[in-house]
Amino acid sequence: MDTLGHRLTSPWRRSAVAAVVGALPVLAFPAPSLWWFAYVALVPWILLARTAPTGRRAACDGWWGGFGFMLVMHHWLLPNLHVFTFVIAALLGALWAPWGWLVRRMLGGVPSRGRVLAALVVLPSGWLAVELVRSWQGLGGPWGVLGASQWQVEAALRLASVGGIWLTSFLVVALNVAVAVLVALRQARVPAVAGLAATATAACAAWVWSPRPDTDGRVRIAVVQPGVVSGPDSADRRFDREERLTRELVGQDVGLVVWGESSVGFDLGDRPDLARRLAALSRETGAEILVNVDARRSDKPGIYKSSVLVGPDGPTGDRYDKMRLVPFGEYIPARSLLGWATSVGEAAAEDRRRGSRQVVMNTADGVRIGPMVCFETAFPDMSRRLAGDGADVLLAQSSTSTFQQSWAPGQHASLAALRAAETGRPMVHATLTGVSAVYGPSGERVGPRLGTDTGAAQVYEIPLAHGTTPYVRFGDWPLHAALLVLAAWGVTEASRLGRSARERRVPPARTAHGSPARPGR
């Protein structure tokens, strides 16, 4: 790749290669799920950027690599957003331009051992800074954070309990940097091996010393997944199917029944008949039912997506309104400027309204549940806040039916394992059409997954846990540490450049005859 990088004299050809190598990390995520590939997936991108002839070209390599990564990560949006998918990928890809420049700055040419050692910390910190910025909801949120590719690796889940998904991302990037140095810089193998050893040591330390959740009791929760229901009267027919599936749970000693996102297409205040049917289901099953209402509210203006708890006497009064909406899918940012997106894809014709606070609900069995809706499970701060507020079980109500045949359902379900491991709380990911899954307090899978070809009511025996993980207690400390590393590096570089500039301005000493003095022997 070093040789290839030097041979790519055509800017467009080099940009095309950057886009291809930038897309490689996506193979570590579901559906390919080549989780081990994440440890070397960035190596070609790093080797390309370090051979850039100028810092500007390295920034372009970073931009094009980010474009490839974002485009392939979100390729399932193409049927809905069409050309706008490329615009989004280009805008988000620009976030990696400084990272490409930083790769060349740290590893370009023949770097010293000290600079290589610094690169093992600075480059992962730069990557985390990119992930931090793009995790802002207005830019699409933290979908495809590199550490999320490790959702099925027990050691990585243990790391997530210490520093969240951010610590996992940091160490994965550090591994890639060390491997790239081993490949391209023979004289720097010692610091590269030291970096690999340090990463392995950190993983082992987390494995041995990080506290494990203390399980204490179990709760039986059922997930109702109706499957694909389409047509002009789909809301009524979906409700009928969910009702039939829920009746199959009678006599199974279930403590809670969870329906997916948009499982009820009418406000229960406007449709008291549906509220009565839900209350009857609760009495028959002996369990409360958490439904998700996607409708125009009867008590306030606008359309909301709301988690509503229903008991044997009807809605209990516990309600959570979705706070973080999907850009373009549920609202259009700066609609006055970008409203044209509705003419080229299936963007939201009307913006959904946002909730104002997260809610922990108390069930009749004394289990405290923390609901989130769909896209919100990508944000680790939301599940962390629910765990800190006392939730015993995290719940996600989701619907990815629009992207049924893509990688999106599997990728979305995998996030529940990470949220469970980060918080030390079990998590239920319930969808309308799959993939539905349940994970225990260490991120381990509980019971079967319900795929996109399944319509069923499935009961899960879920272990409860108590105690607080380091991530819940200390928060996003890897991000704060990364920003401090970048600030320290920036100060050091500025100081070094300042010294070099002063040395160039100082004229050489002269003899009495006016000729430059020669250094002594």
Q: Taking a C-beta distance cutoff of 8 angstroms, is the pair 4, 17 a contact?
A: yes
Beta strands 393-398 and 427-431, pairing class: parallel
DSSP calls for 88-136: HHHHHHGGGHHHHHHHHHHHSSS--HHHHHHHHHHHHHHHHHHHHHHTS
HSE, side-chain direction, 13 A CA sphere, residue 366:
3
SS (H, E, C) 288-345: EEEEEEEEECCCCCCEEEEEEEEECCEEEEEEEECCCCCECCCECCCHHHHHHHHHCC
Over 80: is that where the pLDDT of 318 sits?
yes
Contact 64, 15 (CB under 8 A): yes
442 vs 43, 124, 274, 456, CA distance in Å?
30, 26, 37, 26
> Residue 403, Cβ neighbours under 10 Å: how many?
18
Count Cβ atoms below 10 Å from residue 110 Cβ, excluding itself: 9
Note the pLDDT tens digit of each residue in 390-448: 999 999 999 988 888 899 999 999 999 999 999 999 999 999 998 999 999 999 999 99
pLDDT in tens, 43-63: 999 999 999 999 999 999 999
Please check whether residue 409 is in contact with residue 403, taking contact to mean a CB–CB distance below 8 angstroms: yes
pLDDT at position 291 is 97
- Cβ neighbours for 55, distance < 8 A, ≥ 6 positions apart: 101, 104, 105
Q: Give dist(CA 504, CA 261) in Å, integer.
A: 65
Whether the CB-CB separation of 245 and 279 falls below 8 Å is answered with no
Give the domain ranges of the chain.
2-211+475-493, 214-323+358-468, 324-357
Q: How far is it, in rounded angstroms, from Cα 72 to Cα 27?
A: 9
d(CA 309, CA 383): 19
In angstroms, the Cα distances linking 85 to 89, 144, 239 are 6, 15, 33
Q: Which fold has domain 214-323+358-468?
A: Nitrilase/N-carbamoyl-D-aminoacid amidohydrolase (3.60.110)
pLDDT at residue 67 tops 80 = yes
d(CA 288, CA 291): 10
**Could you report the per-residue pLDDT of 348-396, keeping only the tens digit for each?**
677 889 999 999 999 998 999 999 999 999 999 999 999 999 999 999 9
d(CA 331, CA 340): 13
Please state, as a whole number, how many other Cβ atoms lie within 10 Å of the Cβ of residue 169.
29
**How does pLDDT run across 76-87, given as a tens digit for each residue?**
988 877 888 898
Angle, nearest 10°, between helix axes 113-134 and 154-184?
Answer: 130
User: pLDDT tens-digit profile of 192-240?
Assistant: 888 888 878 877 777 777 788 888 899 999 999 999 988 778 889 999 9
Q: What is the pLDDT of residue 4?
A: 54
With 70 as the cut, is the pLDDT of residue 260 above it?
A: yes
Instruction: Give every CB contact of residue 73 below 8 A, 6+ residues apart in sequence.
Output: 26, 29, 143, 144
Measured between alpha carbons, how far is 222 from 460 in angstroms, rounded to an integer? 6
Render pLDDT for 120-173 as a digit per residue (tens, 0 to 9). Answer: 999 999 999 999 999 988 787 899 999 999 999 998 999 999 999 999 999 999
How many C-beta atoms surround the C-beta of residue 486 within 10 A?
A: 18
pLDDT of residue 521 exceeding 60, the answer is no
How far apart CA 190 and CA 187 sit, in angstroms, is 8
Length of the chain equals: 521
SS3 375: helix
Give the C-alpha separation, 292 to 247, whole Å.
18
CB 134 within 8 A of CB 97: no
Distances (CA, A) of 287 to 119, 281, 492: 55, 8, 61
pTM over 0.75, yes/no: yes
Strand order, beta sheet including 288-296: 314-321, 303-311, 288-296, 256-259, 214-225, 456-466
The sign of the torsion formed by the CA atoms of 331, 334, 339, 344 equals negative
